[in-house]
Structure 1
């Protein structure tokens, strides 16, 4: 009982420091067994012009979606938001709808996906083995707020179950395929719903552009994106995207083509003398023109960070011929 009370106190404290942004959750019904919970994506004028923390820069300002597959009194929750307050909002909503049994799946180890894990401390938490390893290795820094800076995530609840290959689970009669991927982050896990022909993409795909966190892995990511395109899904639901598109059922396969083209172009131009000042418009014009993506203001900062990371990773190195790995 004492341990339970301490955990509740810690969770309440974490909810206060997770982000300066208030919870303004939207619930988007995708079909009769899939919900999207969406928070963030404020207009630029509503955001104070001060240095942002990781929760706002990489998540709340670009918009955060998490997904819940449910049947009867059971639910599988895909990711737990940057903070406890957001995750608790989702759990409370589901509890009011009659959900009593929860499984949480983490898409990867990045903090904006595990910040609310403590809300599911009484449930199974599934991730790839690599995600669990990375969270254990970084636990002290994450709980102290030094890994990515503040806010701290304390307590950090570590996944209790791991997978290393495709794993099929059922939520009632709904078939759910958990699939490890090396896209965006080498420890990634996406969810494929074969009967719905839907992909819950985590951070492997985004609108406006992907955050490049492992630039050395871009050649593998380009190849893996081409392979992912052949899985058989027709619609894509990302964790960071336009809520209006998500509400209409998600993105088409063109989002994969766009993301691959962005990654390839970033590497191709990384030796340009003006690379670090090349604007995002140079890389996304075709995708905006054909409606695949839209330019959201917060992704200008993401693109600037991408330029810095790619330039550093590929400086003085021969550039790979990525165009040969087309679908």
Structure 2
């Protein structure tokens, strides 16, 4: 009998940290679970990434109410993944903002992604009965959108494909703080199952060009100071290189997906085996790297059935 995905056995509650990374900019983090960013303006609050369920989103709201009573006006979706978006209803926001591509991906594969992630992350989806359905952006943009929270300006930008084709970042220029979603991770595995390895490095370069003083990454601790920011960008880049190159080498010689899995493990295990969700991400990362190396530009849609088939194939 095939063993389960690593995430299915991860049922321990994580310690929550709510830290200020710039004036009135906060990062809600939880030991490698999905992060949420909070930007407080003169008259309202913006959320960046909504959590997987209303139950988890209410934990974010509880933290917000310890620092401000201003209304939550905007929820920003950095991308379409279920663990990032399905808690959006709990905030009571006026607008849900995302890229045009993100909304298209909700339509194309949002339900399949929900079904897939639901089967792999039982802890994150506790209380799933309160999810009202797919989260649909109410306002979208192609490359850039500027939102004003009173006098505070927030630039929402698509800086290139990376974790998905529709990733955006939120840039707060008055504090030089960027909220990157899963484009950047710090001491937590990158999930690359819907990623674009060939573009991701350039997108990291585009983030670096803003010279951020702090970053709220998609997973892992908040990053304050240029040294930590650079360390996270380097960590993410190193993770991607060590995942893609071995898989691409196997694909180039006509090797199997199982051989790519073994090659990536040999490269990545010594460096990353102790970081959160590494074992969970690895099979999806290897499969996507192998597919991209074979010329598949658009990631295949993950479904609960495809998850099982891939996992059985990788275990031989």
Q: Distance in 1 between matches of 2:111 and 2:214?
A: 38
Give the alignment partner of residue 103 of structure 2, picking from 132, 138, 145.
Answer: 132
1:68 matched residue in structure 2: 38
Say whether 1:175 aligns with 2:153: yes
Assess if the C-alpha contact under 8 Å between 1:118 and 1:156 holds in 2: no
Report SS of the residue matched to 1:125.
strand
Q: Distance in 2 between matches of 1:254 and 1:162?
A: 32
1:6 matched residue in structure 2: none
Say whether 1:164 aligns with 2:133: no
Give the alignment partner of residue 169 of structure 2, picking from 190, 208, 222.
Answer: 190
Say whether 1:98 aligns with 2:69: yes
Going from structure 1 to structure 2, the CA distance change for 1:74 and 1:279 (only over 3 Å counts) comes to same
1:295, distance to aligned residue in structure 2 (A): 3.8
Going from structure 1 to structure 2, the CA distance change for 1:99 and 1:206 (only over 3 Å counts) comes to same
Which digits, 9 at most, give the CA deviation of each residue in 1:150-171, with x for residues without a partner? 4564323311111112222222
Say whether 1:155 aligns with 2:124: no
1:259 matched residue in structure 2: 236
1:247, distance to aligned residue in structure 2 (A): 7.1
1:24, distance to aligned residue in structure 2 (A): 5.1
Going from structure 1 to structure 2, the CA distance change for 1:259 and 1:23 (only over 3 Å counts) comes to closer
Say whether 1:114 aligns with 2:85: yes
Q: Distance in 2 between matches of 1:224 and 1:251?
A: 18
1:87, distance to aligned residue in structure 2 (A): 0.7
Assess if the C-alpha contact under 8 Å between 2:246 and 2:260 holds in 1: yes
1:184, distance to aligned residue in structure 2 (A): 1.1
Going from structure 1 to structure 2, the CA distance change for 1:311 and 1:141 (only over 3 Å counts) comes to closer
Q: Distance in 2 between matches of 1:103 and 1:184?
A: 23
Q: Distance in 2 between matches of 1:156 and 1:93?
A: 25
Aligned Cα RMSD in Å? 3.2
Q: Distance in 1 between matches of 2:191 and 2:112?
A: 22
Report SS of the residue matched to 1:155.
coil
Which digits, 9 at most, give the CA deviation of each residue in 1:164-188, with x for residues without a partner? 1222222233221110131211101
1:146 matched residue in structure 2: 115
Say whether 1:238 aligns with 2:217: yes
Aligned residues: 267
Assess if the C-alpha contact under 8 Å between 2:176 and 2:211 holds in 1: yes
Going from structure 1 to structure 2, the CA distance change for 1:122 and 1:198 (only over 3 Å counts) comes to closer
Of structures 1 and 2, the one with the larger relative CO (CA 8 A, separation 6+) is 2
Report SS of the residue matched to 1:156.
coil
1:191, distance to aligned residue in structure 2 (A): 1.0
Give the alignment partner of residue 267 of structure 2, picking from 253, 273, 282.
Answer: 282
Q: Distance in 1 between matches of 2:162 and 2:152?
A: 25
Gaps of 5+ in 2: 1-9, 120-124, 297-316
1:201 matched residue in structure 2: 180
Report SS of the residue matched to 1:146.
helix
Say whether 1:210 aligns with 2:181: no
Q: TM-score, normalised by structure 2?
A: 0.72
Q: Which moved more, 1:87-96 or 1:19-28?
A: 19-28
Q: Which moved more, 1:125-134 or 1:152-161?
A: 152-161
1:35, distance to aligned residue in structure 2 (A): 1.3
Going from structure 1 to structure 2, the CA distance change for 1:174 and 1:20 (only over 3 Å counts) comes to same
Assess if the C-alpha contact under 8 Å between 2:75 and 2:97 holds in 1: yes
Going from structure 1 to structure 2, the CA distance change for 1:309 and 1:137 (only over 3 Å counts) comes to closer
1:240, distance to aligned residue in structure 2 (A): 0.3
Q: Distance in 2 between matches of 1:101 and 1:302?
A: 32
1:223 matched residue in structure 2: 202
